[in-house]
Structure 1
Amino acid sequence: MKKKVIEIYKDITINDLSLFLNINNSVIINICKDLGLIVNINTILDKELISFISDELGYKVKYLDSLLLINKEKEIREKYKKNIYIKRSPIVSIIGHVNHGKTSFLDYIRKSNIISSEEGNITQHIGIYNVNLKKSIKLTFIDTPGHESFLSIRRISIKISDIALIIISSENGVMTQTIEAIYNAKSENLPIILGISKIDKNNNINKIKEQLSNINILVDDWGGEYLYQKISVKKGYGINEIIEKILNLTKKINLFTNINKLCSGKIIDSYVNKNKGYIVKILLLEGILKKGDYIISGIYYGKIKKIIDENNININVVYPGLSVNIVGFNGVPYTGDNFKVLKKEKEIKRIVIERENIIKEQEIKIKKILYKKNKDININKNKKINIILKVDVENSLLAIIEEINKLNIEINIIKKKVGNIKYSDYLLAKTFNCIIIGFNVKNIINKKQINNKNIEIYNLKLIYDIIKILINKNENNNKENIKILGKAKVIKLFIKDKKLIMGCKVINGKIKKENKIKIIRNNKIILISDIISIKIFNNKVNEVKKNNEFGLIIKKKAEIKINDIIETYKKK
């Protein structure tokens, strides 16, 4: 039997794919679970997964994203009879756990103060910087956020890097994101250099080496293959040595690239500037990029009007391995997408029109189905949360959606886009009964235009504030369907075997391992999680009764404080 064909341009969510295939999204979720994947309706599926799922359900997927571009590139490349190779700048990802000193290290090298501009001194965006060293040597550093929420961004940076520089605080040692960074770098076969930071505060390096050896990372002076260097940004110690190690390592890597190739590279980030328009940060990997080139990424394209380096200086030419901001795109491309340069604007426009038509058909179909569902369901009985997300830069979307996907809450993301909150967002929120969440953007809706005061609009600066609002919104929606089974209070916190253990005392009812828990602070829910284990005097138990003390380990991570309240509950 011939399979039905569905045309898809880009990676889409489970919810969208279920609409295209006209099936319940639980069918797709179950297929993913059989593959060992933890997903929900907002999980974005890549092309390989989409093809596998569609094939399982009797459909064939046709992708129309880059085939035409590739054919055109081959045709133009035939005109070049001579290959010219140059050595490009090495690309180094700085990765590791939050607050281990990654951005401070980069600040020292660049003599800048990036960290002071970050909200709450937390890096929430990907940064990429070209550093000029002596003898005209250049290095390109990618600075990644260390918080758990930014896994997608860290994976993108690792995929486009030549070397992974993993920073480990000598105070805290090897932690969760340290291990994740090492495993991700090894999976991409990246050479690894370890920087042991903050040695002015703690110089017990043997403890770090032992922790690393426990995860099969043996440093060079212990007979292993991994280079390491003690550093202190405060004292300026070890910085030159670690740079020297990076440069020596790059001599062993083939970094030559053909500059007669048509330009290509990666989109790092993008945002809207009210004076300049769309600003797109790119990393050039092949060819020489020039002002006036025609560029395309996904459905967005344009003629490059300006090339701006990190010092805000206009330049005309970019060489491989370097990152710049460009002005000229007609929209905001997606972080991690490829870009290419073609010779003729006419060819780019033809490709874009084909892609846009596919996407418009998809979006119209989704909106029609959502609108019908919204009309059919009594809003008062609908416990799903519909949201509109407006963010400052494109890679913020990756982190926010990834964090939302971890919640055990039914959330429909009706719209997600870079830019300020506008009147069109308000109208969409009215139609689909949404809350509007802005992340580091402005609300430019004229208050006189708003006639529905029940539309909730939030302007937030930290991703964890978004999560708290969604958790509390879900709690308010489902209050009548939840029965509280027990309450406890956090009276002590300690870490054992890299796990946070909460010392608690039961106030009311019982705390049972089988029930979900809510952690509450100042009458607001900060986390919903499953319980991993309950212990009384090192003995594992399944329940604890009133007035008894116990140790608790939960599945999800959050900043837990003494006096936080723990509630166990079940749905009625």
Structure 2
Amino acid sequence: MAEVTVKQLAGVIGIPVDKLLEQLGDAGVDKSGEADAVSDEEKRKLLLHLRSQRGQPAAEEVAARPSISLRRKRTSEVKTDASGRKTVNVEVRTKRRILRADETAAPETEEEEVPLAADSADEVGAVSESLEPTPVVEELDAGEQAARQALAEAEAAAADAVSAEVDRVAREAAEAATRQADAPTESAEPPTAPAEPTEPSELEALKQAQRQWAEEQARAAAERQAERQATQTRLKETEELNKRESELREQQRKAAEEAQKRAAIEAQQQAAGAPDRAGGKPSKGRKGKGGGSDSDTRYGRNQLHVSKGKSGKRKGKQARRPAAVNIEAKHGFEKPTAPVVRDVEVPDTITVADLANKMAVKAAEVIKAMMGMGVMATINQMLDQDTAILVVEEMGHNATAMSEDDMEARLAQKIVDALESEAVARPPVVTVMGHVDHGKTSLLDYIRKARIAAGEAGGITQHIGAYQTETDNGVITFLDTPGHAAFTAMRARGAQATDIVVLVVAADDGVMPQSIEGVQHAKAAGVPLVVAVNKIDKEDADPERVKNELSQHDVIPEDWGGDVQFMPVSAITGEGVPELLDAISLQAEVLELKAPELGNATGSVIEAALDKGRGPVATVLVQTGTLRRGDIILCGSETGRVRAMFDENGQQTEEAGPSTPVQILGLSGTPNAGDEMLVASDEKSARELAEVREGKHRDARLAERKPTKLDDVFSQIQTGAVPSLNLLVKADVKGSFEAIRDSLEKLSTDEVTIRVVGGGVGGINESDANLAAASNAILVGFNVRADNTARRLIQEHDIDLRYYSVIYELIDLVKQVAGGMLPPEVKERIIGTAEVRDVFKSPKFGLIAGSMVIEGVVKRDAPIRVLRDNVVIFEGELESLRRFKDDVKEVNSGTECGIGVKNYTDVRPMDNIEVFERTEVARTL
């Protein structure tokens, strides 16, 4: 038996802890507190002490008798029909035998016999409790309840009698053992160390006693099993009995309702036939000769028609209740006794509620801990990483700093399929870069034998085009990037997803800014460069000039000792195109491009758009694995299932391997161009990673919002409001929108602010028109149009709507409009200079400076400056101008005149008077 504490032992015995400690001290067991453990030996000492105090026999006297048998007999009745009138008497006889080890088995010590008797007594109590009836949860009338209560009291009295009989038998056994011990056996050895039997008869008697003890144990176990089976049988019978009783009550209720209805009908009939009954004719029932109606019976028509006084039967004994099954009501959860220390990963920012969830505590506990640290917080307040780590450590847990990038990488690694497959050769991905109008798309047009450039607005590429072309040297995937300055992000995006960069430079135009930018993107991405010198069919073509200019940017041709291939080509005649394809294939062989075909696909989003009929459409370049229709994909913070895939020719396809560009449908929204594309094994993981990325983007946007400071407000009040031009831009693809937005925002200056208040991908709708009206913005549609509802709102609110298909025109318009909002530039021009020769006084004008015009023309009412020793000492205006006492408007060079300076009286000889005029010049961005 396991050790128990003093408190647990006191609870089992049912006495206070203090009293138990006092009894233990009297028994010689030193225990100081309720948490001290009590061993079996100490319990035996306490039992012997209590027996000696009460005058009870010792344990060895009680243990002298080999066994005790208990017999009980119970009689009960079981109803066999629904009416409850037929019963069967059931008599249950139980026999319980309690055994101890045989006397000849020689127990080790006398004290060890005490727990055997105690355990046996406990077993008797357990058996008695197991035979106690379990109450039947049914509503019974008062007579049945009283009978059952009396039966329970009788059974309790019988159990007390049995317990008393057990004690009496135990005392008699102990006295018998004492008498046997008093016999002349003083010279015998103590039972703890029996001598070995010297006679065969004693050995056989010992074996016989052991066999009898084993048989008695087996018989007792069989009896206990039979009792358990009988108990289960009684429980089933009780359930069936309860079910029959409920059915009977339901039948009685229905019968009573029918009887009430019939009684009401008969009452009406009796009221109608009252004169006949007054004449002395008794009314007869509908059946039989007995007087009274059916309602006079106890159970209506369901029973025999007898009088009320004889309707009862002999009251039988109340059915006994089934014995209660002693099952320990213990649940599986155990309250932890030691504090749980958790490892909490703390991201860059976290709310109080999320932090409490990670620590598995309530948010109120976290708030309380923060208040103890001197920080007032709410459940939704955002905490930085340092504060969250301090709170976690304050609450006794281990905190680990974790960035959002780590979480994102871990979730991405969880999503990516871990299937390892053999890498196979894949087609090269070639990005064509160069300055605008240098012939990039025309060169691809000749290679693809199609006319793409003619379909582009203005003859320039507006967004990235991804094509896969079959050539004599195999399959090559081309990415055509824009060359305009506004599409820098697109070129960088194309360089990151490519294997080889083909830089197209016009032989007649030379190296331009976008050409240099393409070289920089190629070097930043670490991809090899092939230079295609285009337009060599022109008369003014100069390929050597291109080599010289590119050599200044560390692009050295092979014939000059470098590692860059220069291929002269013509997109019109096709000259040099086969050699260019050979150079690309050779470069791809050197790179040994390989990628696994099996497993989930990964790639990059090249471009994304919102189609009115198909929803979000994303152009994806598959880099590894195979993308199939029906896969769950994750592009940035957008998820979805691939509903359809189209190749560069618009034909549907079921799967796409490495280095294959496809258009996919089924995303939840329009992803950003350049986002990573992953195929997830389950939708839950994809959504979880999408939420993490969306939260990261939201935090970044919130961080960009700078709170308004009082100093900024005062500075704006002092300098005056800066005019702003609000624009709402809608584009056909995401890349074009990004390029336009960045280009327009770069036009902002200190004097005028250009803000893109909204926009996106898709046509102009009603919400866009309302936003433009509310923010006083100009609506700009780039390769998109407004629907009917939006056009009606635009006319009602008189919104300025502009459509463009070339980015040059859009940027020029914004420059023109923003330039008109700038204050004009004031320019000063000196028109004449006069030298003061003498000063006169005039009663009407005050001081008059007699001057000689030495340069230009002096005009009246023009602003002037007075210079002394070439230093401006006064700036004002000319009040009067006279020539020989005649007022004149202007005086030419070499002529004397009198000049009156307004509000200035300190004019001296040898001063110079400078006359100038101001002109306003319109400004442009």
2:729 matched residue in structure 1: 389
Q: Deviations over 1:334-367 (max 9, x none)?
A: 0111111101123223433455566678879999
Q: Determine whether 1:193 maps to 2:539.
A: no
Q: How far, CA to CA, are the matches of 1:366 and 1:209 in structure 2?
A: 44
Partner amino acid, structure 2, of 1:158: A
Q: How far, CA to CA, are the matches of 1:334 and 1:300 in structure 2?
A: 9
Output aligned runs, 1:42-57, within 5 Å: none
2:310 matched residue in structure 1: none
Partner amino acid, structure 2, of 1:255: L
1:116 matched residue in structure 2: 454
Structure 2 residue matching 1:341: 3-state secondary structure:
strand
Q: Is the contact between residue 734 and residue 761 of structure 2 (CA under 8 Å) also seen in structure 1?
A: yes
Q: How far, CA to CA, are the matches of 1:243 and 1:146 in structure 2?
A: 22
Going from structure 1 to structure 2, the CA distance change for 1:484 and 1:145 (only over 3 Å counts) comes to farther
Match of 1:453 among 772, 776, 797: 797
Q: How far, CA to CA, are the matches of 2:700 and 2:546 in structure 1?
A: 51
Q: How far, CA to CA, are the matches of 2:581 and 2:924 in structure 1?
A: 55
Q: Is the contact between residue 165 and residue 192 of structure 1 (CA under 8 Å) also seen in structure 2?
A: yes
Match of 1:149 among 478, 486, 491: 486
Deviation at 1:567, TM superposition (A): 5.5
1:217 matched residue in structure 2: 555
2:569 matched residue in structure 1: 231
Deviation at 1:261, TM superposition (A): 4.4
Output aligned runs, 1:359-438, within 5 Å: 383-409=723-749, 410-438=753-781
Going from structure 1 to structure 2, the CA distance change for 1:220 and 1:368 (only over 3 Å counts) comes to closer
Output aligned runs, 1:466-477, within 5 Å: 466-477=810-821
Q: Is the contact between residue 65 and residue 355 of structure 1 (CA under 8 Å) also seen in structure 2?
A: no
Q: Deviations over 1:134-170 (max 9, x none)?
A: 36x2111111111111111111111111111111111
Structure 2 residue matching 1:232: 3-state secondary structure:
coil
2:786 matched residue in structure 1: 443
Q: Is the contact between residue 421 and residue 445 of structure 1 (CA under 8 Å) also seen in structure 2?
A: no
Q: How far, CA to CA, are the matches of 2:653 and 2:723 in structure 1?
A: 53
Seq. identity, %: 29
Partner amino acid, structure 2, of 1:123: T
Deviation at 1:296, TM superposition (A): 1.0
Q: Which structure features the higher share of helix residues?
A: 2
Going from structure 1 to structure 2, the CA distance change for 1:4 and 1:285 (only over 3 Å counts) comes to closer
Going from structure 1 to structure 2, the CA distance change for 1:169 and 1:65 (only over 3 Å counts) comes to same
Q: Is the contact between residue 484 and residue 569 of structure 1 (CA under 8 Å) also seen in structure 2?
A: no
Q: Is the contact between residue 383 and residue 474 of structure 1 (CA under 8 Å) also seen in structure 2?
A: no
Going from structure 1 to structure 2, the CA distance change for 1:160 and 1:353 (only over 3 Å counts) comes to closer
Going from structure 1 to structure 2, the CA distance change for 1:403 and 1:366 (only over 3 Å counts) comes to closer
Q: Is the contact between residue 424 and residue 595 of structure 2 (CA under 8 Å) also seen in structure 1?
A: yes
Going from structure 1 to structure 2, the CA distance change for 1:448 and 1:114 (only over 3 Å counts) comes to closer
Q: Determine whether 1:483 maps to 2:820.
A: no
Going from structure 1 to structure 2, the CA distance change for 1:70 and 1:110 (only over 3 Å counts) comes to farther
Normalized against structure 1, the TM-score is what?
A: 0.68
Going from structure 1 to structure 2, the CA distance change for 1:144 and 1:364 (only over 3 Å counts) comes to closer
Deviation at 1:172, TM superposition (A): 1.0
Deviation at 1:246, TM superposition (A): 0.6
Deviation at 1:298, TM superposition (A): 2.2
Q: How far, CA to CA, are the matches of 1:199 and 1:69 in structure 2?
A: 49
Q: Deviations over 1:198-225 (max 9, x none)?
A: 1111453323222233333221122222
Going from structure 1 to structure 2, the CA distance change for 1:108 and 1:66 (only over 3 Å counts) comes to farther
2:506 matched residue in structure 1: 169
1:563 matched residue in structure 2: none
1:309 matched residue in structure 2: 647
Q: Is the contact between residue 127 and residue 144 of structure 1 (CA under 8 Å) also seen in structure 2?
A: yes
Q: How far, CA to CA, are the matches of 1:298 and 1:430 in structure 2?
A: 32
Output aligned runs, 1:6-405, within 5 Å: 64=404, 67-68=407-408, 70-71=410-411, 73-74=413-414, 77-78=417-418, 80=419, 82-134=420-472, 137-202=474-539, 203-353=541-691, 355-356=693-694, 383-405=723-745
Q: How far, CA to CA, are the matches of 1:181 and 1:115 in structure 2?
A: 20
Deviation at 1:128, TM superposition (A): 1.2
Q: Deviations over 1:286-345 (max 9, x none)?
A: 111011100111221111011100111111110111101111112111011111110112
Q: Is the contact between residue 347 and residue 402 of structure 2 (CA under 8 Å) also seen in structure 1?
A: no
Going from structure 1 to structure 2, the CA distance change for 1:363 and 1:422 (only over 3 Å counts) comes to farther
Going from structure 1 to structure 2, the CA distance change for 1:193 and 1:486 (only over 3 Å counts) comes to farther
Deviation at 1:193, TM superposition (A): 0.9
Q: Is the contact between residue 77 and residue 261 of structure 1 (CA under 8 Å) also seen in structure 2?
A: yes
Structure 2 residue matching 1:217: 3-state secondary structure:
coil
Partner amino acid, structure 1, of 2:503: I
Going from structure 1 to structure 2, the CA distance change for 1:359 and 1:96 (only over 3 Å counts) comes to closer
Q: How far, CA to CA, are the matches of 1:183 and 1:359 in structure 2?
A: 28
Return 5+ residue gaps in structure 2 as ranges: 1-345, 352-384, 386-400, 830-915
Going from structure 1 to structure 2, the CA distance change for 1:5 and 1:251 (only over 3 Å counts) comes to closer
Q: How far, CA to CA, are the matches of 1:484 and 1:569 in structure 2?
A: 10
Q: Which structure features the higher share of strand residues?
A: 1
Q: How far, CA to CA, are the matches of 1:116 and 1:158 in structure 2?
A: 25
Q: How far, CA to CA, are the matches of 2:921 and 2:529 in structure 1?
A: 43
Q: Across the two proteins, how many residue pairs are aligned to each other?
A: 431
Going from structure 1 to structure 2, the CA distance change for 1:283 and 1:381 (only over 3 Å counts) comes to same
Q: How far, CA to CA, are the matches of 1:7 and 1:106 in structure 2?
A: 50
Q: Is the contact between residue 601 and residue 627 of structure 2 (CA under 8 Å) also seen in structure 1?
A: yes
1:462 matched residue in structure 2: 806
Q: How far, CA to CA, are the matches of 1:77 and 1:245 in structure 2?
A: 36
Return 5+ residue gaps in structure 1 as ranges: 9-50, 52-60, 488-545, 547-565
Normalized against structure 2, the TM-score is what?
A: 0.43
Q: Is the contact between residue 266 and residue 282 of structure 1 (CA under 8 Å) also seen in structure 2?
A: yes
Structure 1 residue matching 2:591: 3-state secondary structure:
coil
Structure 2 residue matching 1:146: 3-state secondary structure:
coil
1:515 matched residue in structure 2: none
Deviation at 1:187, TM superposition (A): 2.5
Structure 2 residue matching 1:252: 3-state secondary structure:
helix
Tell which deviates more after alignment, 61-70 or 295-304.
61-70
Q: How far, CA to CA, are the matches of 1:347 and 1:284 in structure 2?
A: 21
Deviation at 1:467, TM superposition (A): 1.9
Q: How far, CA to CA, are the matches of 2:520 and 2:625 in structure 1?
A: 31
Q: How far, CA to CA, are the matches of 2:816 and 2:582 in structure 1?
A: 50
Partner amino acid, structure 2, of 1:400: I
Q: How far, CA to CA, are the matches of 1:486 and 1:138 in structure 2?
A: 67
Q: Deviations over 1:474-508 (max 9, x none)?
A: 23334xx3334389xxxxxxxxxxxxxxxxxxxxx
Asked which structure has the greater RCO (Cα within 8 Å, sep 6+), the reply is 1
Q: How far, CA to CA, are the matches of 2:599 and 2:758 in structure 1?
A: 38
Going from structure 1 to structure 2, the CA distance change for 1:214 and 1:329 (only over 3 Å counts) comes to same
Q: Deviations over 1:379-431 (max 9, x none)?
A: x9561222222111000022112312331341222223101111111222233
1:528 matched residue in structure 2: none
Tell which deviates more after alignment, 150-159 or 440-449.
440-449
Q: How far, CA to CA, are the matches of 1:267 and 1:72 in structure 2?
A: 16
Q: How far, CA to CA, are the matches of 2:492 and 2:640 in structure 1?
A: 28
Partner amino acid, structure 2, of 1:437: V
1:16 matched residue in structure 2: none
Q: Indicate the structure (1 or 2) with the bigger Cα radius of gyration.
A: 2
